[in-house]
Amino acid sequence: MTDIHEPRQTPPTPDIPPAAHPHDVDDGGHAVRLMILAAVVGILGVLGGWPTLVVVLGVVVMIFLHELGHYMAAKWGGMKVTEFFIGFGPKIWSFRRGDTEYGLKAIPAGAYVKIIGMNNLDEIDPADEDLAYRNKSYPKRLLVAVAGSAMHFTQALVLLFVLFAFVGIPGGSLTELEAWNVDEISPDSAADDFGLELGDEILTVDGRSVGNYDDFREMIAELPDADVIMEIDREGEVIDLPVTIGVR
């Protein structure tokens, strides 16, 4: 006798949406953190003006380039970089490209690059062992370690090139310090009290010839609180200007 059973029907599996990646979840605080950061930047601008903002931005860019050096060296060395963030603390904004999450955090006091396997205690996926920092050759690990500092030297060289090529230095020469003219006078300063004017060229101080700004600075440093005659070339006319050297 043969038993005949009806085939079991597998109940339909309900559609369950995939779990959201923790980096894709917005906890509602990103906008608030962004507004706080913008307020801090605004306060710095009000209290310190544009120079303060430029300095802060320059530091942020410098730190970013430092970490970019580590990041590029790690990528070149075949290592897995999981995070590249500017700032610390709560996350404000981020996006993912490949294995790496890039973003901005609330406290702009630094930046960091996260490479898997930076030490032997890091727990990583066995499939990623070949991509870990600890399993790469010594030259590649050394390159990652020094890449940030190398980026600082590169920044210094670029800035020096821009300074000398496009901005210049007093006197207009790298090898010779030449004659110079007064191009700015601060209100209520000693130069303002003396009656110096824009474009004046200082020829002598107390009878001693002034060849360049460094000569002038050294001369007045030797004559604190002294009454001297300053010889000025003002639009081709030589003027004797009695002045009293101040003391700082």
Question: Which tens digit of pLDDT belongs to each residue from 69-117?
Answer: 999 999 999 999 999 999 888 888 899 999 999 998 888 778 999 999 9
pTM here? 0.57
3-state SS of 177-219 is CCCCCCCCCCCCCHHHHHCCCCCCEEEEECCEECCCHHHHHHH
176 classed as catalytic: no
- Spatial distance between the Cα atoms of 232 and 23, rounded to a whole number of angstroms: 68
pLDDT at 234 over 80: yes
Q: What's residue 176's pLDDT? A: 53
Q: Is 131 exposed, middle or buried (0-12, 13-18, 19+ CB in 10 A)?
A: buried
Name the pLDDT band for 20 (thresholds 50, 70, 90). very low
Q: Is 22 exposed, middle or buried (0-12, 13-18, 19+ CB in 10 A)?
A: exposed
Residue 234 three-state SS: strand
pLDDT at 2 over 50: no
Question: What does pLDDT average to over the chain?
Answer: 80
Contact 114, 32 (CB under 8 A): no
Q: Is 87 exposed, middle or buried (0-12, 13-18, 19+ CB in 10 A)?
A: buried
Q: What's residue 113's pLDDT? A: 95
Catalytic residue among 67, 83, 178, 237: 67
- Spatial distance between the Cα atoms of 139 and 103, rounded to a whole number of angstroms: 29
Q: What's residue 16's pLDDT? A: 44
Name the pLDDT band for 150 (thresholds 50, 70, 90). very high
